Amino acid sequence: MSVHVLLFDAGSDQEGIHSLEISGRTVVLLFENRDDAERYAGLLEAQDFPVPSVEALDRTEMELFCNQAGYEARFVPAGFVPQNPEERLLIAPPERNMDVSHWQDEEQDRDQGREEDQRREQPAEPISSGDAELEAFRRQLEGLL
C-alpha cells in the first residue's frame, strides 16, 4: 500500500521529509489520500513555509525508515476526523513552524562552531616574522596588552 508524504527538495542532495514535534516525539505524517497531503502542503505554503512536493511511497518502507531514524510514523487515513488538539496537527500544521530554510546551513554552522571551540582550546603558537626589528615591535605591543 502506498502513502503520501511531504518532501522538500525531492531528489536532491538536500532532500528532507516534513515532520512535526508532538509531545517530544518527531512525527512523520503518512497520508492515505493524496488530496489530503496536497491540502496540508498548501497550508504550509500559506504559512510561508517552503513548498513540499507530495510523493507516493510504500507504507512499509516509510514505517521502516521512520523506525530506523527514531521517528514516529503516523498514518492519516482518508476522512480522518481529529478527536483532540494533538490529532488536529495531523490535518493542519501548527500556527508556528520552525525555520527550516537553512537547515543544512545551521547544521554546518554547529559543526564549524565545535571546530572553532576546539581550536580556541589549543594554545596559540607565537607568530614570528623573521625580521628582528618587527619582532621587537610586536613584543612591545604585546607588553602593552
Using one digit for the tens of pLDDT, what is the confidence trace for 112-144? Answer: 555 555 554 544 445 555 567 777 777 777 776
SS3 of residue 35 by DSSP: helix
CA angle, 15 then 34 then 91, to 5°? 85
pLDDT tens for 48-106 read 888 899 999 999 999 999 999 999 999 999 989 888 888 888 888 876 555 544 445 54
Q: Please report, for the chain, the start and end positions of each structural domain, with discontinuous segments joined by +.
A: 2-105
**Whole-model pTM?**
0.64
Query: What 8-state DSSP symbol labels residue 23?
Result: T
